[in-house]
Amino acid sequence: MKLKTAIQYQLTDLGKPMAIFYAVLYGGALAVTAIAMYLMGDEAGGFSGLDVSSIIFLMFCGVYAFLEDFQFFIQNGLTRRTIFQCQMTLFLIAAVFMGTFELLVESLILNNITEYVSMFDLIYGTDPVILVKWLWRIGMYFMVTNLAFLSSILQNRIGKRAFVLILIALGLILVVLLPAVNNFLDGAVADRILPILLAVMGITENGLQMLYPFLTFLGLSAVFMAGSYCLIRRAEVK
């Protein structure tokens, strides 16, 4: 099996669940909107955050890509390097397609029948041009998929128990330790971290800098890709 054949196989394999996902997502959203408009008329409010569902879907795709496809491709004679190239190509195609498709649906359908607010709009407002929203969404989707893929390979390398312990430790650090230290230091931790987080997301004192989040997504994607490549070279077939 060659790289092109492997990519075609994965695109076909991804097509059906993606079609079902969008049918349920937009079908349900439009049905709820129609019912709300029928019952409440002009007082019916809009909705937001459908792209959060897309992030969850892509995380499952990233995990599934290693758990299922890795073993299949190994058995069919693909090298680990070719498998990695195949997965990265699939993730990029999926990110571009989903980012484009969702933006078209929002612009041509959702915004014309209801007050829909995407995650981008919640963070930055509705003023930025559509090209910025498109690049932002593609970058975010590509990053999320690579993170899920890296997490799946890491779990394979260190074992499920150790992986769960790492997740618990990270959760305790973020939810318990950091807030406790921040309170002890009278908010000094938040005063230092929050401006940095806002800046990398493009929210600065000089206004919105939309190139920053796109570069952040690309940078994190590169880090996750490098980690995945290093781990997949020694990943075990289970």
Residue 61 to residue 149: CA distance in whole angstroms: 8
Residue 57 to residue 65: CA distance in whole angstroms: 12
Residue 236 scores a pLDDT above 90? no
What pLDDT sits at residue 127?
64
Q: What are the residues whose beta carbons fall under 8 Å from the beta carbon of 61, sequence distance 6 or more?
A: 14, 91, 94, 145, 148
What pLDDT sits at residue 238?
62
What is the tens place of the pLDDT at every residue in 164-208? 888 788 888 877 888 888 787 777 777 788 888 888 888 887 777
What pLDDT sits at residue 225?
94
Mean pLDDT of the chain: 84
What is the tens place of the pLDDT at every residue in 13-40? 888 899 999 999 888 888 877 777 777 6
Residue 183 to residue 160: CA distance in whole angstroms: 34
Q: Which helix (H) or strand (E) holds 204?
A: strand 203-204
What pLDDT sits at residue 237?
64
Confidence of residue 55 (pLDDT cuts 50, 70, 90): very high
Give which of 115, 140, 151 is closest to 40, Cα–Cα.
115
Confidence of residue 210 (pLDDT cuts 50, 70, 90): confident
Residue 123 to residue 198: CA distance in whole angstroms: 10
What pLDDT sits at residue 110?
79
What is the tens place of the pLDDT at every residue in 114-158? 777 888 888 887 666 788 889 999 999 999 999 999 998 888 888
Over range 75-93, report the average pLDDT: 88
